Chains A and B, each alone.
Chain A
Amino acid sequence: MLRITGGRVYDPANGIHGEVKDVCISDGRIVAEVEGTGVRTIDASGMVVFPGGVDVHTHVAGAALNFARAMTPENQREAVKFIHSPELRAGIGGITPTTFATGYLYAGLGYTTVNEAAVPILSARHTHEELRDTPIVDKSCCVLMANNELVLDLLEEGETERAKQVVAWLIWAAKGYGVKAVNPGGVAAWKWGKDAKILSEPVEGYSKVTPAKIIASLAAIVNDLQLPHPLHIHCNNLGAPGNISTTLETMKLLEGYRAHMAHLQFHAYGGDGWNSLRSEAATLAEYFNAHPNLTADAGAILFGNSVTITADGPWQHLLYQLTGHKWGNLDVENETGCGIVPYVYKGSNLVNAVQWAVGLELLLLINDPWRIFLTTDHPNGACFWRYPEIIHLLMDVDFRRERVRKLPAKALKRIVLGDLDREYTLSEIAVITSAGPARALGLSRKGHLGPGADADVAIYNENPDRELMFRYPRYVLKGGQVVVEEGAIRKVVDGREFIVHPSFDENIEEYLRPLFEQYYTMSFDNYPVEMHRVEGADIRECG
């Protein structure tokens, strides 16, 4: 039993905004009161108490990330080293941290839950094994579905009900938590050397399936299955100048459904070429503000080294041609693909400068912090351990303007960031880093400090330098245990994995089995991830 006393508590989900009050913990959960002897007390005077951070969209495990790790040994030589000790496993930080280091770094930042946002079912087994080796934080996975040929074939035939059964079966096979759509139809088209740029045009290889149909069908299926997290969508035309029209069109298709728009920064550009690229964050925010069915994460970029990894293969090929940097391309049989290109965002580059501004503009122009969350699409826009830099930019308008002034003069005409006065409050930061994403993920025991919540708590020293404040929490508690103290890992605990079990007709296996024998390299019986591969599974029945 534990009592955190004297700290200013920010628990926006329960309407608490900086009140000095006690937070009590018993058996890994928050409770109303603890009594008796043996209650340990943490004196949090002069500190602020947050619910543990929740990352709604990150890439921390799986085949693609491993490919990125292997492709960039030059980054790893420069990375922070974790030396093996009785408590810690060896590892390296940097842009694509190793598994154990990922857990240490997230916890070290005050984050206790992460959602791995892109898992191909074929490599789900491996992903779960890596997540098992990512300690401290709780995890969940979104399963890639918008280019799965089994699903697309059914949509082509108009067999919507069967498609729903297949999707449900696939989620359970992957031991996933949500459904992710990446460049709907575009990755399937990439296998023909094409992309899907127009939502109303049939996808290469199909006559009736269009990106629009895939988006609408998946949104409806996720809705019908009553998954806790709505469709998690990465729109078509990521990163392309003028893609605002595609993004708005996608959002219109989603009217009537809940949906989560991933890394919105990469989808809010105007202009018709790289030389005329401009921010359309205001247009996007205006539409978004009026449509409460949507949530989004920022996908902000920061200047510096990064590795872009995405299932969006055609975009990655374009990026490779633009940069002449290294390029990796993976094909995942009938399901998806993946491209990897190391990238350096430069403040002096006009396009990068606009991208940097767009991420912040979205965070500032979208009024409701409960619907826009802090992410960098790690490792694409920047590494997750750089989140405090973004918090600083959001909370301090003078600092932000000073940074804006350093951008190329040409960029200033294409952004509105310099005109925005909004400053985030600590309460709003608690929303975009924890309470909001927890709600969007449907994790009722995360992101708040009310009785019954998991005792995941981040305690920061109050400091006017917000970057420093959020970079080094004074204490981090996970499940009631103190895991981080003064920036050092004190105790390593295992995290859990959230999984959904949507209901489906068992007979769907009779439909799938022959398809597997015909089209897959893996046998049908070996395909689903066995339950025992998932450590600390927390299963939720749906539908």
Chain B
Amino acid sequence: MITLTLKEQPRVPLEAEAISPDVMAKLRHDEIRAVPMFLGKRQRRLDDFFEVEGEASEDLEIRGDVGKVKWIGRGMTRGRIRVAGNAGMHLGAYMKGGTIDVSGNAADWVGGEMSGGLIRIGGNAGGQVGAAYRGSLTGMQGGTILIEGSAGLEVGMRMKRGIIAVKGSVRDFPGLQMKGGTIILGGAELRTGAWMIRGTILSLRPIPLLPTFAYNCNYNPSFLRLYAKHLQIQGFSIPHEEGDGAYLLYSGDAAVSQKGEILIWQPRASS
């Protein structure tokens, strides 16, 4: 295992795409220390910012508040990163495989345009979780993002595949221009699923809906049993038993298509 301990918070964000198992797996201790990273426009070394222990491993642990360290695990394909503290923007962006665990909060763009792997955030996440970068037509294309707390704007914007599950509530525009995949929310603010073409958004609490979503029926989709089983292992529970209640299915967004679905959990009224 390689342990990186932050010496002190950088004053401007540190570009740390080199903190990835793919980069570190074959490096010796002194090579890891010399890995280049940009602080603003200046090129510096990893050991200017971190104490380094260990070498040549796909298992990384980062200690300290790296809330200003960007691009951790960018494009990683394997291995594991654990962050004991907060993580900065673009955590696991373009990730293809492996696991990232963050015990604290994560900033914006967690798993931006990722295509595989698992990201778990113990606290809250910022906006644009699993989203498409500006201008791109497609966001997240696979993998799983699990958030224990809340999240910000545009969660899953233009996502095409994969799962994003947020226990808490999210802000406006979850699933904006979504093309596929599944977003599970503990509630949301405004304009959920705006311009969604396909895909599923599931809310465990009532949410305000756009007028372009039409009520369809009450049902308990069978695929949810599978999802529930899968997410249960990760500590996320989704209600799906008929005895407990049903989902109200709304179809939309009629502004672009009727193929997207928003499911809102309605517990059975206790008698």
Q: Chain A: residues with CB nearer than 8 A to chain B? A: 71-77, 84, 325
Contacts and interface: CB of A to CB of B under 8 A. Distances in A.
Contacts of B136: 74
B134 A74 contact: yes
9 contacts: A71-B135, A73-B134, A73-B135, A74-B133, A74-B134, A74-B135, A75-B135, A77-B135, A325-B137
A72 B134 CA distance: 8
A77 B133 CA distance: 10
B135 A72 contact: yes
B41 interface: yes
B159 to A, nearest CB: 16
A27 B243 CA distance: 92
Which 5 residue pairs are nearest across A and B when measured between Cβ atoms? A73-B135, A74-B135, A74-B136, A73-B134, A72-B135
A443 B133 CA distance: 45
Contacts of A77: 133, 135
A325 B41 CA distance: 34
Which has the most chain A C-beta neighbours within 10 Å: B133, B135, B137? B135
Nearest to B41: A84
A65 to B, nearest CB: 16
Nearest to A77: B133
Contacts of B133: 73-74, 77
Interface in B108-136: 133-136
A71 B136 CA distance: 10
Interface of B: 41, 133-137
A75 B133 CA distance: 11
B39 to A, nearest CB: 15
Nearest to B134: A73
B241 to A, nearest CB: 41
B93 to A, nearest CB: 11
A520 B6 CA distance: 60
A300 B137 CA distance: 27
Nearest to A76: B135
Contacts of A72: 135
A66 to B, nearest CB: 15
A85 to B, nearest CB: 11
A325 B138 CA distance: 12
Contacts of B41: 84
Contacts of A84: 41
A71 B41 CA distance: 26
A76 B134 CA distance: 11
Nearest to A73: B135
Nearest to A72: B135
A460 B260 CA distance: 57
Contacts of B137: 74, 325
A299 to B, nearest CB: 26
Nearest to B136: A74
B145 to A, nearest CB: 21
Nearest to B138: A74
A309 B135 CA distance: 17
Contacts of B135: 71-77
A405 B136 CA distance: 33
A312 to B, nearest CB: 23
A71 B137 CA distance: 12
Contacts of A73: 133-135
A148 to B, nearest CB: 33
A422 B91 CA distance: 54
A77 B132 CA distance: 13
A412 to B, nearest CB: 31
Given A75-B135, A76-B135, 13 more contacts: A71-B135, A72-B135, A73-B133, A73-B134, A73-B135, A74-B133, A74-B134, A74-B136, A74-B137, A77-B133, A77-B135, A84-B41, A325-B137
A190 to B, nearest CB: 25
Nearest to A84: B41
A71 B135 CA distance: 7
Nearest to A324: B137
A76 B133 CA distance: 12
A77 B93 CA distance: 13
A75 B136 CA distance: 9
B259 to A, nearest CB: 15
A73 B136 CA distance: 8
A492 to B, nearest CB: 20
B96 to A, nearest CB: 17
A278 to B, nearest CB: 31
A90 to B, nearest CB: 9
A297 to B, nearest CB: 30
B71 to A, nearest CB: 13
A84 B137 CA distance: 30
B227 to A, nearest CB: 30
A74 B136 CA distance: 5
Nearest to B132: A74
Nearest to A75: B135
Contacts of A76: 135
A3 B90 CA distance: 54
B37 to A, nearest CB: 15
A423 B58 CA distance: 53
Contacts of A75: 135
A77 B134 CA distance: 10
